[in-house]
Amino acid sequence: MTKHALITGGSAGLGFEVAKGLILDGWSVTITARGEDRLRQAAGHLRRLSEEARVEILPLDLSSLADIRRATERLQQSGARFDAIVGNAGAKIESPMKTTEDDFEWHMGVNHLGHFALVSMALPLLSSGARISMVSSVVASRGDARGIYASKNVSLSAGQAYANSKLANQMFALELNRRLAASGSTVSATAAHPGFARASAYGSKVVRFGEYLAAQSAARGAKPILESLIAEPGSYLGPGVFELWGSPTAALVHEAALDERLCADLIHESERLTGLELDL
């Protein structure tokens, strides 16, 4: 039976490359993004990779809990089942600071809370043995777990907010895997990061030029993410050369992701803010 993956942010960059890799490996994919036109264009490119490829699109705005609920209900009504969820979409470092529709700090709201809500609602759609993989970042190493939900009104740089949100992705994945294992579920979770890879363009001209010169391709950056779908449950993968470039290997786990009390606090606060329970 053909496996089916749900990939957030699948219309461009890393998510698109993950979708390509899975299709070439015989998977079907459902890709999400905010813009339906970009989704349709990406789906057209993906369908040309294989005559057997089944590519579905799902408009989804991770900055809106209402839209996440709408999209998940659409999946439920369609009878969709998934063998993997790849939580790839995310806000880049964006300044000045802003908030989501639900009044969350932008980076945390999109990168972590949006995915937390999606996974919480989509758990019943997962097949036996399914894998959930959250995409973190090499800068998660600079995240501050104790300031992870720092108020949007306090002085917090956009770069620190982004690092905190990517640390939250890592903590969520590893804590989710621990809880799934403890519950006896056949579903498991991992995390991965792409290193220094070209994704969707962002930042100043200087940042984009530096990325052009030094970053590995999005296709190379997608490899740890693809590998995370078959890696040992609870793994955290990244590129092997200084965690910036190269083939996938085990990456350095932030001490906060190993601290079960901090991770439990993350889940509790995520449930409180989203109004959703992580029901395993």
Q: Which residues are catalytic?
A: 162
Instruction: Please state, in angstroms and rounded to a whole number, the distance separating the CA atoms of residues 247 and 88.
Output: 19
Q: Under a CB-based contact definition with an 8 Å cutoff, are residues 221 and 198 in contact?
A: yes
- CB burial of residue 264 (10 Å; 0-12, 13-18, 19+): middle
User: 248-256 — which CB contacts under 8 Å span 24+ positions?
Assistant: 248/192, 248/223, 248/224, 251/138, 251/192, 251/193, 251/224, 252/141, 253/170, 253/174, 254/140, 254/141, 254/143, 254/145, 254/167, 254/170, 254/171, 256/143, 256/145, 256/167, 256/171
Residues 6+ apart with CB under 8 A from 243: 138, 193, 195, 251, 252
User: Which residues, 6 or more positions from 33, have their beta carbon under 8 angstroms from its beta carbon?
Assistant: 8, 9, 10, 11, 12, 15, 39, 42, 59, 60, 89
195/216 Cα distance (integer angstroms): 8
Q: Which two tokens stand for residue 216?
A: 């590995």
Q: What are the phi and psi torsion angles at 224 (to 5°)?
A: -60, -35
Whether 85 and 58 have beta carbons less than 8 Å apart is answered as no
